[in-house]
Amino acid sequence: MASQISDEIPLYIKVNSQDNVAIIVNSGGLKQGTLFSCGLTLFEFVPQGHKTALVDLEQDQEIIRYGEVIGFAKTPIKKGSWIKESLVQMPVPPELDKLPLANKVPDAQPLMEGYTFEGFRNADGSAGIKNILGITTSVQCVAGVLDYAVNKIKKELLQNYQNVHDVVALNHTYGCGVAINAPDAEIPIRTIQNIASHPNFGGEVMIVGLGCEKLQPDRLGNEEDIVSLQNQQGFTNMVKMIIDMAEERLEILNKRERVTCPVSDLVIGLQCGGSDAFSGVTANPAIGYTADLLVRAGATVLFSEVTEVRDAVHLLTPRAINKEVGQGLIREMKWYDDYLQKGNADRSANPSPGNKKGGLSNVVEKSLGSIVKSGSSPISGVLAPGEKATQKGLLFAATPASDFVCGTLQLASGMHLQVFSTGRGTPYGLSMAPVIKVSTRNALLEQWSDLIDINAGTIATGESSIEDIGWELFHFILDVASDRKKTWADHWGISNDLSLFNPTPVT
């Protein structure tokens, strides 16, 4: 039905009354000469999701989308033309030291009481939504042995522990051959430390180390939690020691049962990947509406991706609850500016080729569509990369935009579940936490019906409102957290490896 509507009637989306461009809704794009009901005629073919000029644009004239300048016309552009990436000159980023701070803090919205989920209560007062044995490595050297042991546990033992969902090897590429005392080494180290104590692991810490690595296992847990392979007599004994320790913890985890928990126990991460021009008008606004609902219900909500915030940060610092939080946003933007400069890179490295094929001209346009995932709540805190969340409300958790690195760092911050919008599509998933996929357009749902959990594409065709999809997503989150429903990624058992953010030298 949705695709028929968008194919039969020429449709475009203009987000803001000030916009002088709009994106094409119809699947397959629209041909030269297409006439819209408003009288606009396309000067040439324009692909789906790409921009067309609503007025004649002079050279150097501002190109406006979302009510913001996304670039300048490199040459004159006729009304109805396809605004290709090559025609757009990117503007300079906001000057960080001149940003307004906490001067437009949104009023707190009415609390939403009575919303709950069925989770696992932990001894420290936190709650998990899965009951998993997570086995952390202190160094990449042990990954092969641990994977062998985990496969053996899953095949031979896990069936005896019906209340335990999974056994997960938390492998990574850190631990040795690194500048362990470099100033920014705290980022990968605290990421590993915080993941080891994730609430979905029920407080049962287990670490497999080698013995000679720079990241000594006792920095991740107590002596009774550690299997050191260099202390074992041969491979079979290494595996036996891992399995024996795992069995002790499986016995404990198996006794856990779900109990009713308030939504305030949840930490929900927000991310986008494989973005397109629809991301900022369908999926991300709907996710932003859900984020506001979660905050009103008392949850912690994380939005991230520094490079996809940097060019729109001037719209966020006014929402900080105070100047200290606003300065925290600026601090993380500056850190990342310096990080990119050291690598002789700049913000033009984002977006990806796929983003551009989906209609995004530059990182400015991408950022403006990305930040709407944060909704309209006050920003109550800022987390450095891999830092654990300790407060409620909407938090900016600083991460790179890379899906895998962002997901890993949000897990370290305590994320139970991730909401992930996509326009181009990606089968990305996490073994430790469910990932809810939200599609930006109907065509992606039709193509990937067994990978997309929620479709926001009907917003573009006028069949659903942002509020409709926002509420649908909110209830789906509670169902997934309670194990009443499964994400497609969990259904298929697909997940990506942990990917640590290590900005320090490898020696």
Residue 476 domain flag: yes
Residue 438 lies in a domain: yes
- Residue that is written with structure tokens 């979905």 in the block: 200
Residue 75, domain member (yes or no): yes
The verdict on 296 and 407 lying in the same domain is yes
Answer whether 0.85 is exceeded by the pTM: yes
Which residues in 300-311 are b (16+ Cβ under 10 Å) and which e?
bbbbbbbbbbbb
Phi-psi map region of 155: left, alpha, beta (phi>0 left; psi -120 to 50 alpha): alpha
The torsion angles phi and psi of 435, rounded to 5 degrees, stand at -120, 115
Say whether both 281 and 351 belong to one domain: yes
Report the alpha-carbon distance of residue 301 to residue 295 in Å, rounded.
Answer: 7
Query: What would the pLDDT profile of 434-467 be if each residue is shown by its tens digit?
Result: 999 999 999 999 999 999 999 999 999 999 999 9
Whether residues 272 and 415 share a domain: the answer is yes
DSSP secondary structure code for residue 275 in this structure: -
Instruction: Assess if residue 122 is contained within a domain.
Output: no
Q: pLDDT tens, 311-330?
A: 999 999 999 999 999 999 99
DSSP states of 136-172:
EESSGGGHHHHHHHHHHHHHHTGGG-TT--EEEEE--
Residues 6+ apart with CB under 8 A from 286: 438, 456, 459, 466, 469, 470, 473
Which residue, of 200, 226, 253, is where some domain finishes?
253
Question: In this structure, which amino acid lies at residue 15?
Answer: V
505 lies in some domain: no
Spatial contact of 220 and 136, defined as CB atoms under 8 Å apart = yes
Whether 409 and 388 have beta carbons less than 8 Å apart is answered as no
pLDDT band at 4 (very low <50, low <70, confident <90, very high): very low
Yes or no: say if 153 and 243 are a contact pair by the CB < 8 Å rule: yes
Q: Are residues 264 and 249 in the same domain?
A: no
185 neighbors 171 (Cβ within 8 angstroms): no
Q: Which residue has the tokens 């916009």?
A: 19
Split at pLDDT 50, 70, 90, the class of 7 is low
Which of 226, 253, 280 finishes a domain?
Answer: 253
Q: Name residue, tokens 């993380």.
A: 332
Cis? peptide before 351, omega within 30° of 0: yes
Rounded CA-CA distance 137/206 in Å is: 9
Let me know whether 240 and 271 are in one domain: no
Sign of CA dihedral 392, 397, 401, 406: negative
Q: Which of 196, 225, 253 is the last residue of a domain?
A: 253
Q: How many structural domains does the chain have?
A: 3
Domain check: are 315 and 398 in the same one? yes
Q: 196 in a domain, yes or no? A: yes
Cα–Cα dist 187/336, whole Å? 13
Question: Are residues 429 and 292 part of one domain?
Answer: yes
What are the tens digits of pLDDT across the range 63-119? 999 999 999 999 999 999 999 999 999 999 999 999 999 999 999 899 999 999 999
Q: Residue 71: give its domain's CATH number.
A: 2.30.130.110
Give residue 351's pLDDT: 83
Question: Do 433 and 290 fall within a single domain?
Answer: yes
CATH number assigned to the domain comprising residue 168: 3.40.50
Q: Which two tokens stand for residue 338?
A: 């310096």
User: Is the same domain home to 10 and 33?
Assistant: yes
Task: Specify the residue for token string 């701070």.
Answer: 101
Same domain, 333 and 378: yes
- 357 and 283 fall within a common domain: yes
Sheet holding 417-422, edge to edge: 379-383, 393-397, 300-303, 267-272, 417-422, 435-439, 454-455
What's the average model confidence in pLDDT over 364-386? Answer: 96
Containing domain of residue 164, as a range? 132-253
Does residue 223 sit within a domain?
yes
167, 225: one domain: yes
Q: Is residue 17 part of a domain?
A: yes
d(CA 324, CA 326): 5
For the chain, how far is it from start to end, CA to CA, in angstroms? Answer: 57
